[in-house]
Structure 1
Amino acid sequence: MSGPLSGPPSHVGIIMDGNGRWATARGLPRVAGHRQGAEAARRTVRAAVDLGIRHLTLFSFSSENWKRPMTEIEQLMELLRRYLRSEIVELHEQGVQLRVIGDRERLAPDIVRLVEEAEATTRDNRRLTLVMALSYGARQELTSAARALAREAAAGRLDPEAIDEALFASRLWTADLPDPDLLIRTSGEMRISNFLLWQLAYAEFVFTERLWPDFGRDDLASAINEFGRRDRRFGAAASTG
Structure 2
Amino acid sequence: MPVIPKPRDGLPAHVAIIMDGNGRWAEARGLSRSEGHRAGLEATRNAVRFFAEQGVGTLTLFAFSSENWGRPREEVEALFDLFVSAIEAELPELVERGIALRFIGDRATFPSDLQARMTEAEHATAGNDRMCLVVALGYGGRWDILQAARRWVADSDRGADPEAAFSGYLSTAGLPDVDLLIRTGGEHRVSNFLLWQAAYAELLFIETFWPDVTNTELEEGLTWYASRQRRFGRVPAAGDAAAPGEATGA
Query: Alpha carbons of 1:158 and 1:15: their partners in 2 closer, same or farther (altered >3 Å)?
Result: same
Aligned pairs for 1:58-207 (under 5 A) are 58-152=61-155, 157-158=156-157, 164-207=162-205
> AA paired with 1:103?
D
Q: How does 1:30-45 map to 2 (within 5 A)?
A: 30-45=33-48
Structure 1 letter corresponding to 2:168: S
| Alignment-mate amino acid for residue 86 of structure 1 | A
TM-score, structure 1 as length reference: 0.92
AA at the equivalent of 2:17: I
Structure 1 residue 139, shift from structure 2 partner: 0.3
Secondary structure in structure 1 of the residue aligned to 2:63:
strand
Contact 1:99-1:129 at 8 Å conserved across structures? yes
CA distance in 1, matches of 2:66, 2:49: 27
Equivalent residues in 2 for 1:45-56, closer than 5 Å = 45-56=48-59
Size of the aligned set, in residue pairs, is 232
C-alpha distance in 1, partners of 2:140/2:67?
8
Contact 1:66 1:73 in 2 (8 A): yes
Secondary structure of the residue aligned to 2:81 is helix
Match of 1:236 in 2: 234
Q: Match for 2:23: what amino acid?
A: G
Distance across 2 between alignment mates of 1:162 and 1:229:
35
CA distance in 2, matches of 1:112, 1:168: 26
- The CA deviation at 1:35 is 0.3
Uncovered stretches (5+) of structure 2, i.e. residues with no partner: 1-7, 242-250
- The letter of the residue matching 2:186 is G
Partner residue in 2 for 1:27: 30
TM-score w.r.t. structure 2 length?
0.89
Match of residue 220, structure 2, among 214, 222, 231 = 222
Letter in 2 for 1:166: A
User: What SS does the aligned partner of 1:206 have?
Assistant: strand
Give the secondary structure class of the aligned counterpart of 1:205. Answer: strand
Q: Percent identity?
A: 49
- Runs of 4+ off more than 4 Å: 238-241
Counterpart Cα distance in 2 of 1:145 and 1:128 = 25
In the aligned structure 2, how far is the partner of 1:213 from the partner of 1:56?
A: 18
2:145 maps to amino acid: L
- Residue 10 of structure 1 aligns with an amino acid whose one-letter code is A
Q: Indicate the SS of the match to 1:178.
A: coil
Name the CA distance, whole Å, in 2 between partners of 1:125 and 1:158: 31
The one-character-per-residue Cα deviations of 1:82-118 (angstroms, maximum 9, x if unpaired) are 1011000001100000000000110111101000100
What RMSD, in angstroms, separates the aligned Cα atoms of the two structures? 1.6
Determine the C-alpha separation between the residues in 1 that align with 2:87 and 2:152: 33
Q: Choose between structure 1 and 2 for higher RCO, CA contacts under 8 A separated by at least 6 residues.
A: 1
Deviation at 1:188, TM superposition (A): 1.1
- Secondary structure (helix, strand or coil) at the match of 1:209 reads coil
**Structure 1: runs of 5 or more not aligned:** none
